[in-house]
């Protein structure tokens, strides 16, 4: 017999609207009256769903059930069938392409190569003219901008030829891809693209741990991780990519909230319920008894709903967390770190960086950040 659980308790009017959205996505909904006063018209309704539908229902609730059904569906899918791969034509770009094309082939998506360039603004006094238009750039600036654009186009054409060559010799997956050239700062262009044409996944290559620490504030990958609302797969330089299906030993950093369920469900749906070994690692600062209780409950729920995967958990002391996770990573042979990634404003990112941001700079291991 199917087990039904409470998703939310709302007023009758709001519960009916939520029911419409849930049922539009094939989720069976049961109502149960919350009787405080049988004579009252404004009684509450307990919205109950099958336990197996919880991850999808949570996504709908998180998306905002006040949205129109079309907007909710768009928010849920959030994809345009592509994998965005920012490139700067370096060896890092070649690594990002190798991983990104493999991901795209695995997920039946289209790789999109994105390169950004910046045109310098020339200083100096403004020319005076009765017909001067402040929106019209002076000739020298326009010529320089055109030159920079032409150089970027030339570099892109050269990189595209190299991609074709690698596809021909089997280094890259032989699938169709597209490319985009945009003016602007890399992080701004990537974020704007993600808002306007949300990709399924962004794949970015990063420098090694020691080099990343030197430019902590200016890292494009870190900026994208902290703000972007689509999954980001970040790979360190010199990473020996074994192939998507060969990545099986994962560590998932938990916050012990319902967002963990959303993140794991995103992972499992993204990769079509893979057969993987996932170690759940809590990162909050509850007392040890509560942590153990919550992590065990989460493990049991995930094991029941995703039977193709194997779930276990480890709880590390906060004071020695970094040392213990380093030792555990080596003993377990971890191949991928997964973090739920919550959007932060600029102030919080600077003074209290998120989990994904911190792990990016402390580990030379691939990282998958899942937005929550």
- pTM confidence score: 0.72
End-to-end CA distance of the chain: 32
pLDDT of residue 77: 39
Q: Which domains does the chain have, with CATH numbers?
A: 4-77 (3.30.70), 82-120+136-235 (3.40.50.620), 244-371 (3.40.50.620)
- The token duo for 298 is 């989460």
pLDDT above 70: residue 224 = yes
The pLDDT tens digits of the residues spanning 88-99 come to 998 888 999 999
pLDDT above 60: residue 289 = yes
Looking at mean pLDDT, say which of 149-163, 192-206, 354-368 comes out highest.
149-163
Q: What is the mean pLDDT of residues 132-141?
A: 58
The pLDDT tens digits of the residues spanning 243-266 come to 888 999 999 998 888 788 878 888
pLDDT of residue 363: 60
Strands (E), the chain: 4-11, 29-34, 44-50, 82-86, 110-117, 178-183, 201-206, 232-236, 249-254, 277-282, 310-313, 336-341, 367-371
pLDDT of residue 54: 86
Phi, psi of 287 (to 5 degrees): -70, 155
Average confidence score pLDDT of the chain: 78
The pLDDT tens digits of the residues spanning 292-315 come to 889 999 999 899 888 899 999 999
Q: Is-contact 203 84, C-beta < 8 A?
A: yes
For strands 249-254 and 232-236, give the pairing: unpaired
The pLDDT tens digits of the residues spanning 30-84 come to 988 765 444 444 456 888 899 888 888 887 776 654 444 434 433 443 434 799 9
């Amino acid at each position: 017999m199917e087990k039904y659980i409470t998703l939310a308790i709302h007023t009758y009017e709001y519960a009916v609207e939520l029911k419409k959205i849930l049922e539009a996505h094939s989720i069976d909904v049961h109502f149960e009256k919350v009787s405080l006063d049988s004579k009252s018209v404004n009684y509450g309704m307990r919205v109950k769903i099958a336990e197996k539908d919880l991850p999808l229902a949570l996504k709908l609730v998180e998306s905002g059930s006040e949205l129109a059904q079309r907007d909710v569906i768009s928010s849920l899918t959030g994809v345009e069938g592509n994998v965005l791969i920012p490139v700067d034509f370096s060896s890092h770009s070649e690594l990002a392409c190798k991983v990104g094309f493999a991901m795209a082939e695995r997920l039946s998506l289209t790789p999109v190569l994105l390169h950004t360039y910046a045109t310098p603004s020339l200083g100096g006094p403004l020319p005076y003219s009765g017909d001067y238009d402040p929106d019209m750039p002076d000739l020298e600036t326009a010529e320089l901008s055109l030159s920079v654009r032409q150089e970027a186009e030339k570099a892109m054409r050269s990189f595209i030829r190299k991609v074709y060559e690698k596809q021909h010799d089997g280094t890259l997956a032989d699938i169709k891809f597209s490319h985009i050239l945009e003016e602007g700062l890399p992080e701004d262009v990537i974020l704007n693209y993600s808002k306007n044409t949300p990709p399924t996944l962004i794949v970015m290559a990063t420098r090694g741990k020691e080099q990343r620490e030197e430019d902590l504030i200016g890292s494009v990958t870190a900026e994208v991780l902290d703000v972007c609302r689509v999954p980001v797969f970040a790979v360190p330089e010199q990473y020996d990519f074994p192939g998507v299906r060969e990545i099986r030993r994962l560590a998932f950093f938990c916050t012990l909230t319902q967002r963990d369920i959303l993140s794991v469900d995103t992972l499992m749906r993204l990769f079509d319920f893979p057969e993987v070994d996932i170690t759940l690692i809590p990162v909050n600062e509850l007392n040890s008894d509560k942590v153990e209780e919550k992590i065990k409950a989460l493990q049991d729920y995930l094991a029941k709903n995703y039977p193709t995967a194997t779930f276990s958990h480890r709880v590390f002391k906060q004071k020695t967390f970094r040392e213990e996770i380093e030792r555990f990573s080596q003993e377990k042979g971890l191949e991928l770190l997964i973090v739920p990634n919550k959007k932060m404003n600029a102030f919080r990112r600077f003074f209290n960086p998120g989990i994904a941001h911190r792990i990016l700079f402390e580990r030379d291991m691939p990282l998958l950040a899942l937005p929550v």
